[in-house]
Structure 1
Amino acid sequence: MLLYMSINPSLQASTPLHSVSVAGAVVREDGRILAIRRADNGTWEPPGGVLELSETVEDGVRREVYEETGIKVSVERLTGVYKNVNRGIVALVFRCHPEGGSEQLSDESTAVAWLTPEEIAARMGEVYAVRLLDALQSERAPHVRTHDGRTLLDMPQAS
């Protein structure tokens, strides 16, 4: 695509650039969900990050969760797709099951905790809390949501 864009500069103006991130909604048997407090801004979020070009989506989820929390996981299923329209980030969130490891801090996290759904709603901003709460709805198809980085947007559905 980049080669084509350099040959056809008019494509550059019309081709949106998006980043793809992955996150794990890691749910324990007792219903508590894994979360981190980010080192860069102090907010509570699900563990996750940018998907690397050379890895599968599932490998990216496992890597990000382990790097940020010390917890090894199995990836169960996609629970949501979330687009930040202001930053061009598409986040894929997967429900995961813990399989080993122990909680540890990283360069990216100043706290790692297993939170109840009520604690998630109280500690996290709306656009992050909804990702974990959506993952608890095990019988629903993946959610598709749009936000501006802070607030969910009610976008019209295509017909």
Structure 2
Amino acid sequence: MTYTVDFVTVSTVGLESSPVADALAGLRANEARYFKNKYDHVFTVEPAGEAKAAVDWVHRILKEERDIVISSRPLEATAFQVENIRMAYVFYESGLSVNVMYTVDDAKKRAVGFKLSEGMDVPEELASRFKFARQKSKLAGTIRGSYFVVKNEY
């Protein structure tokens, strides 16, 4: 079942099993607000089991680019295109959000981003590979983020 993310009234719908559900819901709402303000795109998600293609695409890129396998269970995912950018998000039970920004016509503007919900530890599979910068969000508190550039075609 598809869920339209509301960034005015933040809800933990679909994220209840996460130990940081409130912070993860704020992080998800923060992303929804960004896409609404920048692209007038309504951010919707669905359970990871129903968004298998999006989850598989993100996991394939992580595995093939950096040999990363996320140990946490995916809860929700989405995939969409805005302008010339193909986007995919996976929200994990641990509080991690992974997104892929994949420009269709410019191989130099493709990246995978990691965002950590407030209150969660850096996942072991990312801790030794990435440094995380902090940013403040009214919806999500303190978000820690990192990224890497995608080098191959997907």
The interval holding the TM-score normalised by the smaller chain is under 0.3
Greater length-normalized contact order (CA 8 Å, ≥ 6 residues apart): 1
**TM-score, normalised to structure 1's length?**
0.24
Q: TM-score, normalised by structure 2?
A: 0.24
Structure having the higher Rg: 1
